[in-house]
Amino acid sequence: MERMTVVFWTVICLLLGASVYFGLSAEAYRREIHQASQTSLASGDIVRLVKVIDGDSLLAAKEGEEPVSIRLLGVKAFESKLSKDAVSTYSQACVDSLRHHLENKPLRVLLNADNPKDKQERYLATLYADDQDVAVSLIREGLILVYTVYPFAALQSYHQEQEAARLAKRGLWANRQARTQAEALIRDWRSRSEN
């Protein structure tokens, strides 16, 4: 019985330690995002990449200023998960591609005209690197989906790029499981935007 007690308390200590670690990490991330929301950003500003957060969010900074949190307008990346499934592969590929498109380049910002910030106080923006819409590049690669819940000016052209990637079976569109999940999300977003 004593051995089971030791195992029990060891597991409890490991779980408590993991909880503290992940809690502190989440708090540090929250502070980073909050600090980033204190700096202002305007359409036409030139920024540089500070950090890619996920496939559709990043931190960027104007020269000599604190970083701001930016959410790419009109697109949604698959959520990254701890487990390795079909979509987590594309989630990581999207992060890598986003980093590749943005690293060491000046980025021009075009803010969403209707709502420049989302509920998390991230700027909603289209980013241009080398005069190319970064989101369009990710859509063409089949790494990100067009997010249709909130309309935006380039929605129709984003849809055309997504359809071309789907027909050419690029990126996630080549994987049956990822394609099925993407199509389910698209149907859900379509029904939400129609309401």
Residue 123 sits in the same domain as residue 183: yes
Residue 3 sits in the same domain as residue 77: no
Say whether pLDDT at 14 is over 70: yes
Residue 75 sits in the same domain as residue 152: yes
- Interacting residues of 129 by C-beta distance below 8 A, sequence separation 6+: 101, 102, 105, 106, 107
- Interacting residues of 151 by C-beta distance below 8 A, sequence separation 6+: 193
- Interacting residues of 179 by C-beta distance below 8 A, sequence separation 6+: 166, 172, 173
Q: Cβ distance 148 to 75 under 8 Å?
A: no
Mean pLDDT of 150-178: 94
Q: List, in sequence order, every residue forming a beta bridge with 132; answer none if it has no partner.
A: 129
Residue 31 sits in the same domain as residue 49: no
Number of domains in the chain: 2
Return d(Cα 22, Cα 28) in angstroms, integer.
10
Residue 4 sits in the same domain as residue 67: no
Tell me the pLDDT tens digit for each residue of 84-104: 677 888 999 999 999 999 999
How far CA 109 is from CA of 45, 62, 65, 72, 131, in Å, comes to: 5, 10, 15, 10, 11
Return d(Cα 176, Cα 2) in angstroms, integer.
51
Residue 47 sits in the same domain as residue 77: yes
- Would you place residue 190 in the very low, low, confident or very high pLDDT band (cuts 50, 70, 90)? confident
Enclosing domain of residue 78: 40-194
Residue 32 sits in the same domain as residue 57: no
Residue 77 sits in the same domain as residue 126: yes
Tell me the pLDDT tens digit for each residue of 101-160: 999 999 999 999 888 999 999 999 999 999 999 999 999 999 999 998 888 899 999 999
What pLDDT is attached to residue 81? 65
What sign has the CA pseudo-torsion 110, 114, 116, 121?
A: negative
Residue 125 sits in the same domain as residue 78: yes
